[in-house]
Structure 1
């Protein structure tokens, strides 16, 4: 079943168009990074100036965003396009009843839909990362450090998990709604709300509860308000992905929240080991994995209670 689903995805024009769009944005980001890599690695005040291959994913000229920003925007579209008609299209075509007539469990059908799409996305992202490594090696001739490879692989896994959440959500909507267009529009509406309008709502709520004169707040109160804002923003998957990718691709990042001067006293501006960066972003990764699991569990619950007729 997974092999058949993978073949269907590969032959799908919508997947080809989206992958071509992501590949073009990747090439544009890589071109800008290679053009500005000399100034970025020559800045000795930057603790991350030795990580050339990570700079290829983070350096920008303020015109073309870095690649991980493109993924945070285009990744949901990729996940939604792969799953919005995963189940309802089978029922409309009359093939769902034939599949269920075979000795196949319903959860295996959903798993095949999910795993096949994740395999396609994983291979695609790995190909892009290998292209980036090869381009950096050809144009710079600098050997890659083992820590850079680990961070790039972790970034790839995180990107697949991020796309997997939107894939799980779109599969859930494909089980819930009978029409593929309804499922697609609902998924896109959720994506737009969490990406754009949710941040506006959080800012309006925080502005309403803040005192009229923020200058009267103590340092502890300011930190408490900032932590509250960050906690509210991290309900959105895009914020979790942005926090995690920033920490993985910039080893000098030591905290994802406000830090007092007392906490910064004696800190040396040096890159963190990969294990320490992974510990910082583990709550974000766990949140994305938990949200994906909840979507898949709801899909299984609704699909088990669904009556399938030929």
Structure 2
């Protein structure tokens, strides 16, 4: 009998997977995130925003789908995310403001809190690479954000099916899932930036205020600065030729798209509104003979690909800077 139990113990040891340090930190961080008050507060704000935007969209859904002058009127579930009566902005517009706050709240004390609590020395003393520590914290937060947005979208689709009785089409599913991925990438940029600031600054309050200051600059003040610069370069664009006006508008839009919120807004609008054919000015020759019809998902994805890759590149740059600063940081007890 003793030999049987010993054999069972050896078999269980062979079958049971051994968790790597990366997996252990991810599980620990996910548990900390879903039990923290700041996550509950941001979850409540996003849920209220989603429910309010969905309630207004459901109230206007009949008018939206019967407006035959709109080429997107057949996409019922996309209208749930875009239609509004101007009392509350659409959900993707509100997410351009709440998404950065969610990313900042999850990452502003990722490293400096460990340092101030004295647990960072114990972590790096374990058989764990420093890049795995940063990657585990980033991955755990993105995992929580991804589950959150996927749950919201599935709830929206389920509620829409119960109220309207219309099944979503394949193109709508692709666009909605692409919108979810876009939100994860957008929040991931601000999460990576806040983690970088948590490595750079010793105190969590300093990193949080710096991240919020950067968000306010790109959200409020950056567009004002761009308008002032372009106004100084070209006082009156009305006197420009057609080619000059197009160059002026392209330069203006290129400067605006330095802001992450502008890249997110352009990509979200194109994915949720299939009739959007371009994100820049078009000449009369390009518009001649064009029929107002929705684009395919692949064509819309090609339009927004520069914005998506820009957000991903900015996220990777912030994470690389975090790794560089963290590797050079001296950690003492």
- TM more than 0.5: yes
Give the aligned partner of residue 270 of structure 1: 293
Aligned mates of 1:165, 1:217 — CA distance in 2: 38
Please give the residue correspondences for 1:189-204 in structure 2 after superposition, counting only pairs within 5 Å.
189-204=213-228
Give the aligned partner of residue 192 of structure 2: 168
Give the aligned partner of residue 310 of structure 2: 287
In the alignment, structure 1 residue 214 sits paired with structure 2 residue 227: no
What do the CA deviations read for 1:244-275 (whole angstroms, capped 9, x no partner)? 00000000000000011110011111100000
What do the CA deviations read for 1:10-42 (whole angstroms, capped 9, x no partner)? 001001110111000100000000000011100
Aligned mates of 1:12, 1:114 — CA distance in 2: 16
Give the aligned partner of residue 140 of structure 1: 164
Where in structure 1 are there 5+ consecutive unaligned residues? none
Among 268, 274, 277, the residue aligned to 1:245: 268
Q: CA deviation at 1:216?
A: 2.2
Give the aligned partner of residue 22 of structure 2: none
Give the aligned partner of residue 30 of structure 1: 54
Aligned mates of 2:298, 2:292 — CA distance in 1: 17
Among 76, 82, 85, the residue aligned to 1:58: 82
Please give the residue correspondences for 1:1-310 in structure 2 after superposition, counting only pairs within 5 Å.
1-211=25-235, 213-310=236-333
How many corresponding residue pairs?
Answer: 309
Where in structure 2 are there 5+ consecutive unaligned residues? 1-24
What do the CA deviations read for 1:119-167 (whole angstroms, capped 9, x no partner)? 0000000000011001110110011100000000000000000000000
Q: CA deviation at 1:215?
A: 3.0
* Bigger mean CA deviation after superposition, 297-306 or 213-222: 213-222
Structure 1 moving runs of 4+ over 6 Å? none
Larger radius of gyration: 2
